[in-house]
Amino acid sequence: MIAGGSEAAFLALVDRHQTALLRMAEYWLEDEATAEVVVEQTWLAVLGQLERFDARTPLRVWLFGMLLRHLRSLAFAVEPPGMCEVRAAIDPERFAAPGERWAGHWKRPPVAWPGRVRPELSVAERGVLDKAIRALPRMQRAVLVLRDMEGLTSEHLGEILDQSEAELSALLHAARSQLRAALDQYYERRSGAR
Amino acid sequence: MKGAQLVDLTCREVTDRASDYLGQRLPLDVQARFEQHLHACSWCMTYLTQLRSTIGMVRRLGDSAGLSIGREKLAALFRRWKQEPP
């Protein structure tokens, strides 16, 4: 329909996917105006390649794939070397060291977070999460956003990001761990301030 | 902590593999040892609960209203493309 020239069909696609595409682009580029331009260019590429769309892939996955290919080709948004390393899930200091009694077990265990009364996020929680996402290396950011925010499967992520399952799983866990740590710090500070 | 049941996996190993556990990607025997550890170690259970909450919170962050979508611009882009496809 779109290839046949239906503007309405195209705009229906835009309405459905634009927010998620813009969000992903903005997280990658850290600049709203550039993100908008890149997403526009992605739509143009989508229009140009509609005939090549394989209906066995969900459309959403294909769109994210086109966007990510574009984002990763941008020289000004390439990760400086050293930023790509995957850090340990938890600060190793929090576990008993090898040779110590209970080596590898908690020395400084986690403290339960306050129970959530409302399911919605508070403004502060949003701020903590958003900041922590932006502090991640780009690939981790993309994996986290596509997997946990947009709900894509790890198989689809493998196609889009061209990474093995083991690599993806390490990136995802590293990203989640950084976010968990940021929230943990926030709740700890908050309870200390009380 | 109930010692004997824990020694099989360390807490550090449990925290390292927690996402694989939640995604049901652990080999079955490791999954069984993982769950055994969780039953015996409330600290790791606390950690896992926090990781689950984190994932849920990221999802909710995505549910919120996003950036403006620039529909008009894209409609114009479509009309240009239709006139002269690349």
DSSP label at A53? Answer: -
Q: How many domains does chain B have?
A: 1
Q: Return the pLDDT at A3.
A: 64
Please tell me the predicted confidence (pLDDT) of residue B85: 62
A1 domain-assigned:
no
Closest CA to A11 of B80, B62, B77: B77
Contact assignment for A7 to B82 by CB distance below 8 Å: yes
Residue A113's contacts (CB-CB under 8 Å, 6 or more residues apart) are: A183, A184, A187, B50, B53
Tell me the residue range of the domain where A153 lies: 92-193
pLDDT score for A111: 93
Interface contact B58-A144, CB threshold 8 A: yes
Query: Of the candidates A14, A90, A120, which has its C-beta nearest B74's C-beta?
Result: A14
- The more confident residue out of A124 and A51 is A124
Residue B13 lies in a domain: yes
Q: How many domains does chain A have?
A: 2
In contact, A24 and A42? CB cutoff 8 Å? no
Residue A78 pLDDT level (bands cut at 50, 70, 90): confident
Domain CATH code at residue A41:
1.10.1740.10
Give yes or no for B77 touching A (CB within 8 A). Answer: yes
A9 contact B CB<8A? no
Better pLDDT: B31 or A1: B31
Residues of A with Cβ-Cβ distance to B64 under 8 angstroms: 121, 126
Residues of B in contact with A113 (CB under 8 A): 50, 53
Q: Which class for A14: exposed (0-12), middle (13-18), buried (19 or more C-beta within 10 A)? A: buried
- Assess if residue B79 is contained within a domain: no
pLDDT digits (tens, 9 = 90+) for A80-90: 655 556 667 78
Which residues of chain B are within 8 Å of residue A90 when distances are taken between CB atoms? 12, 15, 47
Which of B50, B71, B79, B80 has the highest number of chain A CBs within 10 A, making it the mutation to test binding with A? B50
pTM of the predicted protein model: 0.89
Distance CA A133, CA A145 (A): 9
pLDDT number for residue A84: 55
Q: What is the pLDDT of residue B2?
A: 47
ipTM here: 0.89
Percentage of chain A modeled with pLDDT above 90 = 64
Does residue B22 lie within any of the structural domains?
Answer: yes
pLDDT of residue A54: 82
Walk along chain B (86 residues) in steps of 10 and give the mean pLDDT of each run: 63 95 94 94 96 95 76 89 76
Helix axes B42-63, A165-193, angle to 10 degrees: 100
Give a yes or no: residue A2 inside a domain: no
Do residues A45 and A73 share a domain?
yes
In a domain, A48, yes or no: yes
Contact B11 A105 (CB under 8 A): yes
How far is Cα B7 from Cα B21, in angstroms, rounded to an integer? 18
pLDDT in tens, A140-192: 999 999 999 999 999 999 999 988 989 999 999 999 999 999 999 999 998 87
Domain of residue A184, CATH code: 1.10.10.10
Residue pair B1/B36 in contact by the 8 Å Cβ criterion: no
User: A93: which DSSP letter?
Assistant: G
Does residue A45 have a pLDDT over 90?
A: yes
